[in-house]
Chain A
Amino acid sequence: MPVKKILHNETNYIEWNSFKAGSWESFGRIYDAHFKSLNNYGYKFTRDTDQIEDAVHDLFVNLWQKRAQIGNPVSVRNYLYKSLRNMLFRKMETQQKFVKLNAEDDYQFHFEVSFDTLLMENEAKKDLQMKMKEAIQTLSARQQEIIYLRFYEGLSYEEAADIMNLNINSTYKLLYKAIGKLQKQVKLVDLMIILCLFASDKALLKIN
């Protein structure tokens, strides 16, 4: 079954170095390659598209101005994700400064993915996604974000830790807890039943 292609696009070193040397064309190409996925990531934190666009604007203005000082990140995409995240948080913080009541709440933002049910081709899978959706909603913003970085963006623990400013151990712990919670909701047994239904669908198709 086809999973919708994600948007990510890695920038190679030749492009990156030519940008650092001052090529406006390379800068434009890096912008074009990452604009969509950065917006998609930003949209998980806020639905305020102006704020996302402002953060993307500031990020690239900064990037061009500091191009001489920037090193060679292992992954350009991850570097941009991390910068966008910091940029967005700073913007949201200044906006929230005066309504923040609960300082103990470790995360001041929410993180939300919206599922696409239209693309699901059969009922069993829709059912699985519904369960998944309910389970995801019980997780904290932090847990949801790490699940997203890992299972949607396909990042390793190290990469996710770097973007989220965590050390690797806490990343492991965070993901373990998140998966544990998920498993309580989406039990393997249920999954097996769903898969059997799915398999019999296939078998039926063959008979017909």
Chain B
Amino acid sequence: MDFSQYIHYTYEDFFNDDAFLLFIVEQKTSDMDAWETFLQEQPYRSKVALAAFETISAYRQQKVFTNEASQAIVFDKITATLTSTQTKLKSFNFQPFFRVAAVLAVVALSAVLYFNYWNKKSIETDFGHIQTLTLPDGSEVTLNGNSKISYAKNFKEGAREIWLNGEALFKVKHINIDTNNIKPSEKFIVHCSDMDIEVLGTTFNVKSRHNQTSVGLLSGKIKIDYDDVSKKQKAFIMAPGDFVKYARQSKLIHQKIINPQHLTAWTTRHLVFQDASLEEMIAVLQDDLGYEVILPEDELNHLKLEGEINVSSVKELLQILSNTLYLTIKTENKKITITK
């Protein structure tokens, strides 16, 4: 940049000169060198230019708000919003023939549903959405993404019954007074695809997906009813800190909760894994957040990450996976491809 063109400029002229402004904004090294030479060679005639330079520089000395901490979080929210609206849009994008068929199917289905469930209320969450709701009896349920609960409209009368598909954290209000005499109306029952959970008043986490259910009990006492290998009705009473896993007609696996925070980390949108296999992590990405994960080599499923992962975004999780397991991870839209 040639600064000698500026020797006749007035102070105001500089504020109208785009080239001079850009020079200050960009501060390219070549320009800065020319600027220093100009100041040294023409100490008097460069005074006004220097005054303008210092004025603008003083103004530009500002505090910057980058909000970097939220960058990944906001992007995850954008992703969540877009996926939930995209699936809605897609379902309307039918061929005319299918449209008619779809309408008929919806009519038929809703008739069936109406007679079966007319007195049921249900709440469903989209991928990546977490929702907390209070039931008519004052109990609290937090639903993870892609999860559904339904309950009878006359929930408060009779036993309190909930049907769950997905993952939820329950904080059940205790209404039983005499533990030796439990009335049916004081019970709270969660029905999953393969087991029933009977409760008095507690806090516990249930995950019921792909015909597999796991229950972690944080406080109180609950009883679970399930079918054993021999198809016999079995019951198991859980104490606080217990964790059970069960798949239809198999043995119940009973463990202790090592870290209770891990069990409910999803309620604060954290992704927490302990010594997890890639398969387990992929399940969460697909089931809770709605990603489509493609894994061409099946044996990769068994890769295990020793230790604890605690991240607040999918981006961070994928970064860790690619760094520690030496994987190549490509993301496009909501599709994730993982290769060696």
A165 at the interface (CB under 8 A from B): no
Q: Report yes or no: B64 in contact with A57, Cβ–Cβ below 8 A.
A: no
B63 at the interface (CB under 8 A from A): yes
Bound complex: CA A6 to CA B65 (Å): 11
- Complex interface residues of chain B between 55 and 74 (CB less than 8 A to chain A): 55-68, 70-71, 74
Given known A152-B60, A154-B21, contact A188–B11 (CB-CB < 8 A) = yes
Q: Report yes or no: B59 in contact with A24, Cβ–Cβ below 8 A.
A: no
Interface size, chain A (Cβ < 8 Å) = 55
Pick the residue among B51, B61, B77 that contacts A119 (CB under 8 A). Answer: B61
Given known A25-B331, A57-B78, contact A128–B21 (CB-CB < 8 A) = no
B3 at the interface (CB under 8 A from A): no
Pick the residue among A115, A150, A198 that contacts B63 (CB under 8 A). Answer: A115
A119 to chain B, nearest CB (A): 6
Given the complex, which residues of B lie within 8 Å of A43, measured CB to CB?
65, 67
Interface centre among A3, A23, A175 (most CB of B within 10 A): A3
- Complex interface residues of chain A between 140 and 183 (CB less than 8 A to chain B): 147, 150-154, 156, 175, 179, 183
Q: Give a binary string over A116-148; 1 marks a CB under 8 Å from any B CB, 0 the rest.
A: 110110000100110010001000000000010
Q: Report yes or no: A152 in contact with B54, Cβ–Cβ below 8 A.
A: no
Given the complex, which residues of A lie within 8 Å of B70, measured CB to CB?
39, 49, 53
A31 at the interface (CB under 8 A from B): yes
Q: How many B residues are at the interface, by size bracket?
A: 35 or more
Pick the residue among B47, B58, B75, B333 that contacts A128 (CB under 8 A). Answer: B58
Q: Report yes or no: A57 in contact with B77, Cβ–Cβ below 8 A.
A: yes
Q: Report yes or no: A195 in contact with B54, Cβ–Cβ below 8 A.
A: yes
Given the complex, which residues of A lie within 8 Å of B55, measured CB to CB?
128, 132, 186, 191
B82 to chain A, nearest CB (A): 6
Pick the residue among B27, B59, B68 that contacts A147 (CB under 8 A). Answer: B59
Main secondary structure of the interface of B (DSSP, over half): helix
Q: Report yes or no: A49 in contact with B21, Cβ–Cβ below 8 A.
A: no
Pick the residue among A7, A57, A175, A191 that contacts B74 (CB under 8 A). Answer: A57
B105 at the interface (CB under 8 A from A): no
Given the complex, which residues of B lie within 8 Å of A183, measured CB to CB?
11-12
Given the complex, which residues of B lie within 8 Å of A80, measured CB to CB?
none
Q: Report yes or no: B67 in contact with A4, Cβ–Cβ below 8 A.
A: no
B118 at the interface (CB under 8 A from A): no
Given the complex, which residues of A lie within 8 Å of B21, measured CB to CB?
150-151, 154
B318 at the interface (CB under 8 A from A): no
Q: Report yes or no: B47 in contact with A192, Cβ–Cβ below 8 A.
A: yes
Given the complex, which residues of B lie within 8 Å of A89, measured CB to CB?
none
Selected A-B contacts with CB under 8 Å, 18 pairs:
A1-B57, A3-B27, A6-B60, A7-B64, A31-B75, A36-B67, A43-B65, A49-B70, A52-B67, A56-B74, A114-B62, A117-B61, A151-B59, A152-B60, A153-B25, A154-B21, A194-B54, A198-B54
Q: Please report A residues at the B interface, Cβ cutoff 8 Å.
A: 1-4, 6-7, 23-25, 28, 31-32, 35-36, 39-40, 43, 49, 52-53, 56-57, 60-61, 64-65, 113-117, 119-120, 125, 128-129, 132, 136, 147, 150-154, 156, 175, 179, 183, 186, 188, 191-192, 194-195, 198
Considering the complex of A and B, which 7 residue pairs feature the smallest CB-CB distances, nearest first? A154-B25, A39-B67, A43-B65, A36-B66, A24-B333, A114-B63, A191-B51
